Amino acid sequence: MTCHLRVGRFFSSILLATTFAAHAVDPHPAEYAIRWDPADGGPKSAAETWAKLELADGDKDTFNIWYSTVSAPPNLPNGFKAIVRERQKTNKKKYELTYKHRGQVPLPATPSLAQWTCPVGATDEKKDEVDVSFYGLTNVVHAYSRSCTVESKDAPPVIPKALKTKRADCKSTVTRLKLEKLTVEEWHVPGPGKRTIIEVSQSGADTNVDLGMFRDRIAKKLVEEYKIKPSKSSMTELGSSCGS
């Protein structure tokens, strides 16, 4: 009797653990970022920021970037805005066309990422991501996005006319330094609100652990030691509004 009871409890515990595992959800991919205008203080360039953070040598790329608003986004979830980004790598011949919709609430359950059709062309490069921006060490804002990217080494991919896009009246130039999951970008955004913006970002998971690591290792050092004043705008917002 005792043996049967123990065996029953053993299998019950396995069943319970399996049930919990089946309902467990992996954390969403996330990008943690902090950005600032060097005119307000802090490191003045991507290279200076890289040195201040005492990072090993990484890869360097340069880009031209254009943003376009989308007048007819297909199946846009409530509370989300759509944007198209064209990115031309200038140190190598490569072109990217990205469609993204972004909002302040989590993405709806349907369609799933696998079911979603990329509005700018067939591609396997699709992702859901939580954008975590540090407006300060205790002021952290989450946004939720779904995006897809079409790439070409020959010519810029064409934006489908059905999206009814309007390109912003400015071209941003970007220098990017990258080492594994950490990226430092120096943006020059022309136009009426001409600005230089430095952004430090790191990919990870949407967890308290990854958030705390970015805050303690990156954001805290930049704010407390190098006196940056964090911006409260995303690069998509700044680039598509020509810095204003």
pLDDT in tens, 28-58: 999 999 999 999 999 999 999 999 999 999 9
Listed residue (61, 53, 216) closest to 134, CA to CA: 216
DSSP element (H, E) containing 175: strand 172-179
Whether the Cβ atoms of residue 68 and residue 166 lie closer than 8 Å to each other: yes
- Give the pairing of strands 195-205 and 126-134: unpaired
What whole-number distance in Å separates Cα of residue 22 and Cα of residue 18? 6
Residue whose entry in the numeric block shows the structure tokens 């805005």: 81
Backbone angles phi, psi at 105, to 5 degrees: -120, 155
Query: How confident is the model at residue 190, as a pLDDT?
Result: 87
pLDDT at 13 over 70: no
Averaged pLDDT, 200-225: 98
Structural domains in the chain, sorted by start:
28-240 (2.40.320.10)
b (16+ CB within 10 A) / e for 216-238: eebbebbbeeeebebbebbbbbb
Lowest mean pLDDT among 6-20, 62-76, 125-139, 182-196: 6-20
- 47 SS3 class: helix
Backbone angles phi, psi at 162, to 5 degrees: -60, -20
Whether the Cβ atoms of residue 228 and residue 36 lie closer than 8 Å to each other: yes
| DSSP conformation class of 91 | T
Question: 14-32 pLDDT, tens per residue?
Answer: 333 333 333 346 899 999 9
State the chain's mean pLDDT as an integer.
Answer: 90
Listed residue (34, 40, 57, 66) closest to 199, CA to CA: 34
- Give the pairing of strands 80-89 and 94-103: antiparallel
Backbone angles phi, psi at 241, to 5 degrees: -105, 10
Query: How confident is the model at residue 243, as a pLDDT?
Result: 60
Whether the Cβ atoms of residue 96 and residue 212 lie closer than 8 Å to each other: no
What whole-number distance in Å separates Cα of residue 42 and Cα of residue 199? 12
- Whole-structure pTM value: 0.87
